[in-house]
Amino acid sequence: MDSLKGKVAIVTGGARGIGAAIALKLAEQGADLVINDISEPEAGIGVLADIAKLGGRSMFIAANISKMEDAKRLVDEAIASMGKIDILVNNAGITRDNLIMRMSEEEWDSVIAVNLKGTFNCLQAVTRPMLKQRSGVIVNLASVVGIAGNPGQANYSASKAGVIGLTKTAAKELASRGIRVNAVAPGFIATEMTKKLPADYADKLKAAIPLGFLGEPGNVADVVVFLAGDGAAYVTGEVIKIDGGLFI
């Protein structure tokens, strides 16, 4: 259970939900963790406590990754405290759903700023130190709606489609220096967000999923851990759907 022992990972949006699950799975494999969130210090402290129980080192850094200077500070502070960065998981994301004809400029801009620009900011910030050490793994959180679209989520779908394009470009640019860049595209995962769905809508969703149930954050975390480890040493530029077969 220590396939990532000696590795240091940053997980953005890691204080709760899928991000917290990813952080804990990485810690189970021996990695030391830097948990980032825009605020959520209390939730972040809870994740740190869980990592400590696993015997790992961890720290929490509050930063707004949609701002380039904050993303750079996040990486600089992480390296100052942990010595290096081996793994970056770009998990932070938000939704501001609305139909295209009703979507406000703020709803569009805020989602693009966090989901796409924030992913770019953090990816760019780790690139130089990873280039120097000639190794590194970056895993970006995309979404199946970035592939298939979804009514009421033009902003979110566009941001996640952008993450996929960014992933493939970064993979091509960085491969020669031993840096792998991949993405995962979750479908409908049982989080606080999906718990708010009306019961009848949730039932329709389950009926549309070939496996017949919503995924769990741990299902996403398992694939991220695989991509972060040596078992995926020959995998880069890929987008792996985690959706129970919804978009086969």
The residue whose two tokens read 């010595």 is 83
Given 82, 122, 138, 156, the catalytic residue? 156
Distances (CA, A) of 118 to 4, 76, 91, 214, 227: 26, 16, 10, 27, 21
201 tagged catalytic = no
What residues have CB less than 8 Å from 77, skipping those under 6 apart?
Answer: 61
How far apart CA 168 and CA 80 sit, in angstroms, is 29
| Sheet of strand 8-12: strand arrangement | 58-62, 32-37, 8-12, 87-90, 136-141, 179-186, 239-242
Q: How many CB atoms lie within 10 A of CB 177?
A: 14
Hey, which residues are catalytic here? 156
